[in-house]
Structure 1
Amino acid sequence: MKKKEHFTRAIEENEGLIYKVTLLYTENLQDREDLYQEIVFQLWKSYDSFKEFSKLSTWMYRVAMNTAIYNLKKNNRKIGTTTIDPIVERIADHRDNSEEEKLKLLNDQIQKLNLLEKGIILLYLEGKSHDEISVIIGITKSNVGTKISRIKKKLKSQLNSK
């Protein structure tokens, strides 16, 4: 299979992760579309450097998150984020109202976290292993465990103060 076809298939199979990153690090549709295009461009530019030391999706997450954070800094924008309501709504579609309210409350507290914490908790909530999060974020596995533990305590504290 040719490089272009393989890359296109990889993007199609992992499109959801790119959308999740754009949702987390943008405030409006135009910025989301621009960031999506930039992430795909960066993935294409660095596709030859993917050495399969990790899963393709893990590598794509890392490129996507680094691109999002770099673009925010490069453009000297106030780092704004959007809620992950669309993700929560999809999860809540099959739940009762009390579950939906709990997810909404959790989402509100996640939005109060800093950029790194939001990225880590997003990956954790998606079921990524500590190893995968370590590779994506670029910190040690033990540091991932420590940060997740601190984020959980922070969220629990925020929720208890409600």
Structure 2
Amino acid sequence: MPTSDVRFQRLLDDNQGRLERLARQYADPADWQDLLQDIHVQLWLSLDSFDGRAQLSTWVYRVALNTAISHRRKRRMPPGGEVPDNLGDSGATHDSLDVLREFLASLGSIDRALLLMDLEDMTREQIADVLGLSSGAVAVRMTRLKQQFSQRYLEP
């Protein structure tokens, strides 16, 4: 079994892009690296408590999301944050990213987290586990988010 340091470094290596995108979304542009550091600290402090009931990647996202939400509350940051330029299709236009940023900024914490995890290609079951919802509730929320997006940006 690897030492805690090796296990922790592997955890960071496997999740770094996802953690950076989450930090950028939940902190303002000047503070996202501080939030990322806070997430790393929380993961380090919590790693020994991981009991294997969930997938490690799901557990990592849950710890990171809870840390990010706490960070936002402490800083009293308005909804929105920054959406990284590397979300979605690499050929997406700047206008598409602006639409995504605007839509994410309009969502509450749970729906924003749900959509971000969906954009990270997490399964409905993983999203449900992170958010403490049933898979059915995740599916319903995703359907509603798609309807909201369609009504706001696609319908005349």
Question: TM-score, structure 1 length as denominator?
Answer: 0.84
Instruction: For residue 70 of structure 1, report the CA deviation from its aligned partner.
Output: 1.4
Task: Provide closer, same or farther for how the CA distance between residues 155 and 119 of structure 1 changes in structure 2, counting only shifts above 3 A.
Answer: same
In the alignment, structure 1 residue 13 sits paired with structure 2 residue 8? no
Instruction: For residue 28 of structure 1, report the CA deviation from its aligned partner.
Output: 1.8
- The RMSD of aligned alpha carbons is 2.0
Alignment-derived partner of residue 68 in structure 2: 68
Stretches of structure 2 that go unaligned for 5 or more consecutive residues are none
Identity percentage of aligned residues? 27
Runs of 4+ in structure 1 displaced over 2 angstroms?
A: 78-83, 101-111
Matched residue type, 1:117: D
Instruction: For residue 150 of structure 1, report the CA deviation from its aligned partner.
Output: 0.8
Task: Provide closer, same or farther for how the CA distance between residues 28 and 10 of structure 1 changes in structure 2, counting only shifts above 3 A.
Answer: same
Stretches of structure 1 that go unaligned for 5 or more consecutive residues are none
Alignment map for 1:1-162 (pairs within 5 Å)? 1-29=2-30, 31-73=31-73, 75=74, 77-88=76-87, 91-92=89-90, 95=91, 99-100=92-93, 101-160=95-154
Counterpart secondary structure, 1:87 = coil
Q: 2:120 and 2:148 mapped to 1: Cα distance? A: 19
Task: Provide closer, same or farther for how the CA distance between residues 111 and 161 of structure 1 changes in structure 2, counting only shifts above 3 A.
Answer: farther
Tell me which moved more, 47-56 or 146-155: 47-56
Matched residue type, 2:77: K
Counterpart secondary structure, 2:106 = coil
